[in-house]
Chain A
Amino acid sequence: MKFTSEQLKIMDSIISRYPRSRSAIMPLLHYVQAIDGYVTERGIETIAEILNLATAEVTAVSSFYTQYRSEPAGEYHVGVCINTLCAVMGGDEIYESLTDHLGIENHETTKDGKVSIERIECNAACDYAPVVMVNWEFYDNQTPQSVKDLVDSARAGNPRPPTRGPSKLRTWKENSEVLAGLNDGLAHEGVSAGSASLLGLQISKNGGRQ
């Protein structure tokens, strides 16, 4: 099945942002995920065609970056940080209990298609460790229980909002659109920097460390 002319037009608008069309490959891959949920064959073939690249070149990029999925993601894609800091602060435990709770392993999706999980590397949010990301929105200072509640609320269709980011958690496909560079108009929602990030500033404003 081909993409609709509407969708192709959006792809063109993404390409037009770059002086060299080839640079659009990454946002386009996100856009394909916004439509299909993962990088599909039609996605690779269409991108190759409109960017005048070989399909192998598109495959190289999409298989290199872990943000591109080669199989469908759940509506809520949960990434548990298992890099050093998060791991010791409880990330490993969160991951264990989450797989038990959902009955799925890394890169798998629940039968209802709602939740998929992935072990992810450091998200540059170590000061909020242990960190979990859902559709690339931050959930800071998590515990095994808070993450269980989080996925349960998501499966019930009413996900708990992220710690930072928009006031309502959006779906994997919706957020892929944002990564493709399409504006969801929600940039003003939520905090721009969390307390841990601002701690240093606070200290220096208070006259620095004594």
Chain B
Amino acid sequence: MTPEQALLETEVAIEMITVVIDGFEVTVPKGTLVIRAAEKLGIQIPRFCDHPLLKPAGACRQCLVDIEINGRAFPKPQASCTIPVENNMIVKTQLTSTVAEKAQEGIMEFLLINHPLDCAVCDKGGECPLQNQAMSTGRPESRFEGVKRTFEKPISISSQVLLDRERCVLCARCTRFSEEIAGDPFITLNERGALQQVGIYEKDPFESYYSGNTVQICPVGALTGTSYRFRARPFDLVSIDSACEHCASGCAMRTDIRRGKTLRRLAGDDPSVNEEWNCDKGRWAFKYLTNRERVTTPMIRGADGELHETSWPEAIAFAAAGLKDKRAGVLVGGRTTVEDAYGYSKFARVALGTNDIDFRARPHSDEETSFLSRVALNLKTTYKDIDVADQVVLLGFEPEEESPIVFLRIYKQVSKRALPVLSDAPFASRGSEKLGAVLISDLSKIANLTTKSVVIVGERLAETRGAFSSVYELINKSGAKLAWIPRRSGEPGALAAGAIPTLLPGGRPVTDPAARVDVAAAWSVESLPTSQGRSTSEILLALNVKNLDAVVIGGVDPLDISSTALTQLLNSFVVSLEISHSAITAVADVVLPVAAVIEKSGSYLDWQGSPRVFEKAIADSLSRSDVRILSMLADEMGSPINLPTVSATAREIASLGKWDGTPVAFEKSVSEKITELGEKLNLKSWRLLLDLGTLQGGEANLAGTARKASAHISKARAEKIGVKSGELISISSELGSLELPVEICEMADDLIWVPRNSIGSQVIANLGFVNGQVKVIKA
């Protein structure tokens, strides 16, 4: 029996209950709350604390209704958000019961006693459940003549969230979210009676990666986002459904625009992906769109060595001349849309005649190439598999840092039914602690894998030779479900679009003649390059030694790849497609400005492989998607790729479909021999969710909640070096060094962990590698 069947069976077994609400019968599954059953009938009972994804609290009392069961009436009105339906229950809401109506009015009057008349300066004004329900349920005029309770306003409970306590209706949505959903109980209801208020422990601010959700679900304007406060009125905003460009979790989002400017982003509602939540990065990291120096006009490098603004035709002609009949490669960033990645993929094959294309702007390996081409491409694991998993194994993957909604999904099962989690991390991160993850030193420690187990591999597994091969074996043996969850939003889509040296779009192997014929026919070209192309690092190497002459780069930070990436391409002809000035545009020969995510339409594939389609949020933007520009460039080069628009590209991708022939074989690699460390330590690292990533630029309030960088070592190692917790150590390689305060934790004595790209700890720039041996001494 598959889990799906099992689920279906349990669904069949669910007992149904019929109740009468305001004279109408409704049949709902046992356990349904009265307030939900009423919704099914279209009857809306006013509420504040009730939230379908949080446990019932009965905190605000706004949802009072009259209930009788088997002819016996409750003596007093009851909170419909805490009472499950029962057979022979008769419910009368405010629509049919004057008692319920009066009770609701009374509660509303109580709530408004201490509520300020603040609407005119409140962010929530215009979209406020309290405002709305005061109109529907409250009295036209207040009878309260006393002095309202006031508080100092606002207090900042973190650099990104402000709290106006006198606006709070004490519904406990925010505190329940933080504890139940995020596992970060950093805000609580403090004090009692008339002084009850939401608060933090003064020294420990509300630094949860998910704090923005509390701002979104606060039913009044008590919690506001620092960056959005006083910026807009909801009725001036145009809301567009969009998708998050940051990670592969795939959150549905809502983008609110006013006159061509993004004012805020909110979590969208997609029960199968992010439910109604998102992370603070997705919510608040969008200032890069306007804050950093956007490139708006094409530029070419003149004889004087400087970039000069020029017209589109001239820039395209200049780029085409530099690429035509040259040996060129393509580097695609990790956050391109499926359509743009397809554009790069087709451009490489048709206009440049090469398979030298790679979307991995990060450390990677040949073993990974093989794993992606053969295994990752055909995975079918989804969020639902996590919901019913018997265990989850995390390999080279820190969900809270690298895919926050995946983390929430696992955490949900951990808190609900103690789902066992294993992780190969060198120490228990905050995320691991919340998941109660058991740390394993190597893959041989993984036991009891069944077809209901979910093994998640991250992109960092590429940094351990032989790891993908072991996982491959493990999965083949056990039949466990496998998921590949890279950190960036564009990678699953770029893989499917063939922005990789081994595959054409749809997973067609470049080395398979039938696959090539397939694609060549669809593209109306005579032939396609036949041999496997170069990977990111090989392209850079080839550029460096003049085996390649030119390179097309879309949205890549060279320091994400290696410390030498930038210098390796200095002697080549560089065409850069970019949204903002960057290290690459600084050395490029041609810079072609492209649209950022909200200025274009397109889609991502989330890690499940489901499309996350989004429309242009800024309808009148003049910026163009990469694919459109590549198409112009290809035309100019005389080898058209015919992808004039994003929608035309999407149609072509759909009609090409997926490869159903023989996939390439997986080439195994053997694990590295453990080299003698001597006095040195093995460096481990990963990126924190909030760090120095390019797309987080310009948002200081968000950055203020980033976890501070520290170096983790074992107690024995700290004693050996002679440092105490909090003291500085110096970590050095042949290429450089960095200094960080020490955090002592349980880990192997020969390991040291530091964040990969945080303030004071940029591993690639400072040490020259992400994995290697370092000398560690007291600073």
Contacts and interface: CB of A to CB of B under 8 A. Distances in A.
B188 A41 contact: no
Nearest to B206: A56
A40 to B, nearest CB: 13
A16 interface: no
B758 to A, nearest CB: 23
A56 B190 CA distance: 9
A185 to B, nearest CB: 34
B187 interface: yes
B190 A64 contact: yes
A59 B199 contact: yes
Contact of A64 (B185, B187, B192, B200): B192
Nearest to B201: A55
A99 B204 CA distance: 37
A73 interface: no
A56 B192 contact: no
B43 to A, nearest CB: 35
Interface in A40-69: 41, 44-45, 48, 53-60, 63-64, 66
Contact of A54 (B185, B189, B191, B192): B185
Interface string B186-228: 1111111000000111011000000000000000000000000
Given A41-B203, A44-B201, A56 B186 contact: yes
A56 B199 contact: yes
15 contacts: A44-B201, A54-B185, A54-B186, A54-B204, A55-B203, A56-B187, A56-B188, A56-B201, A56-B204, A59-B200, A60-B188, A60-B190, A63-B192, A63-B199, A64-B190
Contacts of A56: 185-188, 199-201, 204
Given A55-B204, A56-B201, A64-B192, 19 more contacts: A44-B201, A48-B201, A53-B185, A54-B184, A54-B185, A54-B186, A54-B204, A55-B201, A55-B203, A56-B187, A56-B188, A56-B199, A56-B200, A59-B190, A59-B199, A60-B190, A63-B190, A63-B191, A63-B199
B201 A59 contact: yes
Contacts, number: 41
A54 B433 CA distance: 13
Contacts of B190: 59-60, 63-64
Interface of A: 41, 44-45, 48, 53-60, 63-64, 66
Contacts of A54: 184-186, 188, 201, 204
Contacts of B199: 56, 59, 63
Residue in B188, B189, B192 with the greatest tally of chain A CB atoms within 10 Å: B188
A113 to B, nearest CB: 25
Nearest to A66: B192
A45 B204 CA distance: 10
Interface in B157-197: 184-192
B199 to A, nearest CB: 7
B186 A64 contact: no
A37 to B, nearest CB: 20
Contacts of B204: 54-56
B475 to A, nearest CB: 35
A88 B203 CA distance: 44
A54 B208 CA distance: 12
Interface in B83-123: none
Interface string B497-520: 000000000000000000000000
A53 to B, nearest CB: 8
Nearest to A55: B201
B174 to A, nearest CB: 12
A41 B203 CA distance: 9
A56 to B, nearest CB: 5
B203 A60 contact: no
Contacts of B192: 63-64, 66
A58 B186 CA distance: 10
Contact of A57 (B188, B191, B203): B188
Contacts of B187: 56
B297 to A, nearest CB: 50
A7 B192 CA distance: 30
A58 B191 contact: no
> Which of the listed residues A44, A45, A54, A57 has the most CB atoms from chain B within 10 Å of its own CB?
A54
A58 B185 CA distance: 10
A32 to B, nearest CB: 15
A210 to B, nearest CB: 38
A54 B430 CA distance: 12
Nearest to B205: A56
B188 to A, nearest CB: 4
B320 to A, nearest CB: 59
A64 B185 CA distance: 16
A58 B204 CA distance: 12
A63 B201 CA distance: 11
B432 to A, nearest CB: 14
B343 to A, nearest CB: 48
Interface in B362-386: none
Contacts of A60: 188-190
A122 B755 CA distance: 55
B201 A64 contact: no
A60 B192 CA distance: 9
Contacts of A41: 203
A64 B189 CA distance: 9
Nearest to A57: B185
A53 B186 CA distance: 10
A53 B204 CA distance: 12
A56 B204 CA distance: 8
